[in-house]
Structure 1
Amino acid sequence: MDGRISIIIPTQRRPQSLRTAAGSALRQAGIDPARLELVVVDNDAVPSARPVVEEIAGAAPFPVVYVHEPQAGVANARNAAMARAGGDFIAFLDDDEEAPEGWLAALADVQARFDADVVFGPVRGRAPPGTVRHRAYLERFFSREGPDAAGVIDHYYGCGDSFIRRAALPDPRRPFSPVRNHIGGEDDLLFGQMQAAGRRFAWAPDAWVWEDPAPSRLTLRYAIARAFAYGQGPSAHCAAADPPDRLGLARWMAQGLVQAGVFGLVAAVKWALRAPDYAFALDRAARGLGKTLWWGPFKIEFYGRSAA
Structure 2
Amino acid sequence: MVHVTVMIPTQRRLGGLAVAVRSVLAQRDVDFAALEIVVVDNDQVASARSTVEALATGATCPVHYVREPRAGVANARNAGMAKASGALIAFLDDDEEAPEGWLAALLAAQVRYDADVVFGPVRGRAPESLIEHRDYLERFFSRLGPAEAGVIDHYYGCGDSLLRRAALPDPVLPFATERNQIGGEDDMLFGQMHAAGARFAWAPEAWVWEDPAPERLNLDYALSRAFAYGQGPSAHCAAASPPDKVGVARWMAIGVAQAAVFGAMAGLKWLTRSNDRADWLDKAARGLGKALWWGPFKIQFYGRTA
The CA distance in 2 between the partners of 1:133 and 1:305, in whole Å, is 29
The CA distance in 2 between the partners of 1:245 and 1:202, in whole Å, is 29
Kindly indicate whether the alpha-carbon contact (under 8 Å) linking 1:3 and 1:89 is maintained by their aligned counterparts in 2.
Answer: no
Aligned to 1:284, the other structure's residue is in SS state helix
Kindly indicate whether the alpha-carbon contact (under 8 Å) linking 1:21 and 1:95 is maintained by their aligned counterparts in 2.
Answer: yes
Equivalence map 1:1-308=2 (5 Å): 4-307=3-306
Aligned to 2:70, the other structure's residue is in SS state coil
Offset of 1:129 from its aligned partner? 1.3
**CA RMSD of superposed structures (Å):** 1.1
Count of aligned residue pairs for this structure pair: 306
Aligned to 1:133, the other structure's residue is in SS state coil
Superposition TM-score, scaled by structure 2 size: 0.98
The CA distance in 2 between the partners of 1:150 and 1:49, in whole Å, is 36
Kindly indicate whether the alpha-carbon contact (under 8 Å) linking 1:132 and 1:218 is maintained by their aligned counterparts in 2.
Answer: no
Identity score, percent: 69
The CA distance in 1 between the partners of 2:269 and 2:156, in whole Å, is 30
Kindly indicate whether the alpha-carbon contact (under 8 Å) linking 2:2 and 2:33 is maintained by their aligned counterparts in 1.
Answer: no
Residues 232-267 of structure 1: CA deviation (Å, up to 9, x unaligned)? 111111111111122222221111111111110110
The CA distance in 1 between the partners of 2:21 and 2:234, in whole Å, is 35
Offset of 1:3 from its aligned partner? 6.9
Residues 114-169 of structure 1: CA deviation (Å, up to 9, x unaligned)? 11110100000000113342100000000000001100111110000000000000
Kindly indicate whether the alpha-carbon contact (under 8 Å) linking 1:38 and 1:65 is maintained by their aligned counterparts in 2.
Answer: yes
Residues 78-104 of structure 1: CA deviation (Å, up to 9, x unaligned)? 000001000000000000000001101
Query: In structure 2, what residue type is equivalent to 1:12?
Result: Q
The CA distance in 2 between the partners of 1:140 and 1:129, in whole Å, is 15
Per mean C-alpha deviation after superposition, the further-off stretch among 286-295 and 248-257 is 248-257
Per mean C-alpha deviation after superposition, the further-off stretch among 129-138 and 80-89 is 129-138
Q: Which runs of 5+ in 2 are unaligned?
A: none
Superposition TM-score, scaled by structure 1 size: 0.98
The CA distance in 1 between the partners of 2:109 and 2:170, in whole Å, is 23
Query: In structure 1, what residue type is equivalent to 2:221?
Result: Y
The CA distance in 2 between the partners of 1:250 and 1:198, in whole Å, is 28
Query: In structure 1, what residue type is equivalent to 2:88?
Result: F
